[in-house]
A = this chain, B = another copy of it.
Amino acid sequence: MPSLSLSSFSFEDIPTAEVDAAEKLYGALAHDVRALNDVSIRTRVDQARVDRARALVQEATDLLAEDAPSGPAGIHYNGEGRSWNWGNAVVGVRNAVAPPVELAWQDDDCVHAALSLGAAYEGPPGSVHGGVSAMILDHLMGETASARHTRVTVTGTLTLRYVQPLPLGPVRMEARIVEVNGRKVTVSGWIAADQPDSSPAVEATGLFIVPRWAEEPDAPSGIGSLD
């Protein structure tokens, strides 16, 4: 069983401007694929149209596969403090499976996010899947524990309380550091419908750990949570 260490991260000698340009190019592709994911769930076109759409999708897939290294995207960083985790299941801007969640730091101890969750994230009819709420809360809370990416954290335990259904559509989230005790960081969080007077649908508490190897002086900066 592999364990995580400093060598899990890839140093890339790429200027930040080039990283940003690649993120924009491939991020636009992921944006389009998200729209395809959404309509693929809802469509009821006839077999001829489905067959034609499948042929188009397969052609696009073959084209993109002409130069695509095997394996996952990983986490990378350059010498300018820029890091990128484009494949991340929650925040990866190149991952059409990720909503993606965009984080907004309020201060070092509190992170907000607002996003819209559509048909691809359904559980109960018309509602966000409880597991999706768990997934994105885990990530938001881990990022919060990282104190604006000044330390690396991994999830130790996570407890979720489901209070009421969360309708699909705009949602907002908040996570906040409750306590720091050595390498242990306790974080609380919630997710709610983004509507006036809405109260949390899911509340969470988590214990996040700073791994020993992440305290080494040559640890890469700007990585943050290892969710």
Residues of A within 8 A of B (CB): 1-4, 8-10, 25-26, 28-30, 32-33, 35-37, 39-45, 47, 49-50, 52-54, 56-61, 63-75, 85-90, 92, 94-98, 118-127, 129-132, 134-139, 142, 154-162, 164-165, 167-168, 193, 198, 226-227
Q: Provide the residues of chain B in CB contact with A69, threshold 8 Å.
A: 42, 44
A64 touches B72 (CB 8 A): no
Q: Provide the residues of chain B in CB contact with A56, threshold 8 Å.
A: 56-57, 59-60, 63
Candidates B42, B44, B49, B198; contact of A70 at CB < 8 Å? B42
10 A/B residue pairs, CB under 8 Å, sorted by A: A2-B165, A3-B164, A30-B40, A40-B95, A42-B70, A50-B64, A56-B63, A124-B154, A155-B162, A156-B161
B68 touches A44 (CB 8 A): yes
A124/B8 contact (C-beta < 8 A), A1-B165, A36-B36, A158-B159 known: yes
Closest to A65 in B: B39
Most buried by B among A30, A37, A69: A37
A157/B167 contact (C-beta < 8 A), A97-B121, A121-B89 known: no
A73/B131 contact (C-beta < 8 A), A94-B41, A164-B3 known: no
